[in-house]
Amino acid sequence: MTSFQSELTQLRGSILEMMQLTKHQLEKSKEAFLNMDTALSREVIFNEARINAMELSIDRQCENIFALFNPVATDLRFVIAMMKMNSDLERIGDYASGLAGYVLKMKEPFKNEILEAVRMEEMFEIAITMVTEVMEGFRDEDDQMTRRVFQKDEGLNKINSSCAKVISELILKNPEITHNALFLFSATKKLERVGDHIKNIAEDIIFYREAEVLKHRK
């Protein structure tokens, strides 16, 4: 293996590690959120620093590859894609930590009826499945697996767009839950954004693998 090849392999490994870490953060964030587990929330917030550090380290790896090896063609697309995926993964990490933060800010547990009405658990599960699929698609170079996330993202968007109506109806019926419901409303928005970032990652993988730009295509 040339030193260039070994740099590319290392970069791939770092991104996979970052994906794994992000997935764990989302999973823990889900547990913390649904069970009002403050200890687990603190762990997620604490681990956010690891993701941030990793983002910087991957950026540095990419910068070095550009400067020292002048990649072209597939290699060039690969490094560009890794840089962009790195930044999307970091944002997903931010959302996981933000969701965990709500648990600490809430003065009382989320009400089950609202959690169920906004389909919070389902949204978490879709988002986690999306991260898993995009990670496996990337790891196994299985583009069919990678492409699965596009449909799932649409599902997340759909749930999210129904939330405003559902929540406003609940508040009208019972104004006391307003505080509780608004936190949940923000939480669903965060999960919807997680889906968008995973979709970006899938688009970047397809771009590097197939030289096809899927972004902003209707």
Partner 1 sequence: MTMHSVNGVPRLEARNLSVHYGEKLVLKNITAQIHAHSVTALIGPSGCGKSTFLRLFNRMNDYIEGFKKEGEVLIDGADIYHKSTKIEELRKTVGMVFQKPNPFPKSIFENVAYGLRIRGVNDKNILGETVERSLKQAALWDEVKDDLKKSALALSGGQQQRLCIARALAVEPSVILMDEPASALDPISTSKIEDLIYQLKSKYTILLVTHNMHQAGRVSDKTGFFYLGDLIEFGDTEQIFTNPKQKQTENYISGRFG
In the complex, the smallest distance separating the C-beta of residue 70 from partner 1, rounded to whole angstroms, is 6
Using rule CB under 8 A, residue 66 touches partner 1: no
CB-CB contact of 168 with 179 (8 Å): no
Listed ranges 9-17, 64-72, 133-141, 172-180: which one lies at the site for partner 1 (CB under 8 A): 64-72
In the complex, the smallest distance separating the C-beta of residue 76 from partner 1, rounded to whole angstroms, is 7
x-marked contacts with partner 1 along 177-216 as a string, rule CB under 8 A: ----------------------------------x-----
x-marked contacts with partner 1 along 1-40 as a string, rule CB under 8 A: -x-x------------------------------------
Q: Which one of residues 70, 112, 168, 178 is an interface residue with partner 1 (CB under 8 A)?
A: 70
Using rule CB under 8 A, residue 72 touches partner 1: yes
Listed ranges 66-74, 110-118, 136-144, 167-175: which one lies at the site for partner 1 (CB under 8 A): 66-74
Q: Which one of residues 73, 105, 108, 176 is an interface residue with partner 1 (CB under 8 A)?
A: 73
Structure tokens at 180: 């509780």
In the complex, the smallest distance separating the C-beta of residue 94 from partner 1, rounded to whole angstroms, is 31
DSSP state letters, the chain:
--HHHHHHHHHHHHHHHHHHHHHHHHHHHHHHHHHT-HHHHHHHHHHHHHHHHHHHHHHHHHHHHHHHH---HHHHHHHHHHHHHHHHHHHHHHHHHHHHHHHHH-SSPPPHHHHHHTTHHHHHHHHHHHHHHHHHHHHTT-HHHHHHHHHHHHHHHHHHHHHHHHHHHHHHH-GGGHHHHHHHHHHHHHHHHHHHHHHHHHHHHHHHHH----TT--
Write out the residues near partner 1 by the rule CB under 8 A.
2, 4, 70-77, 211
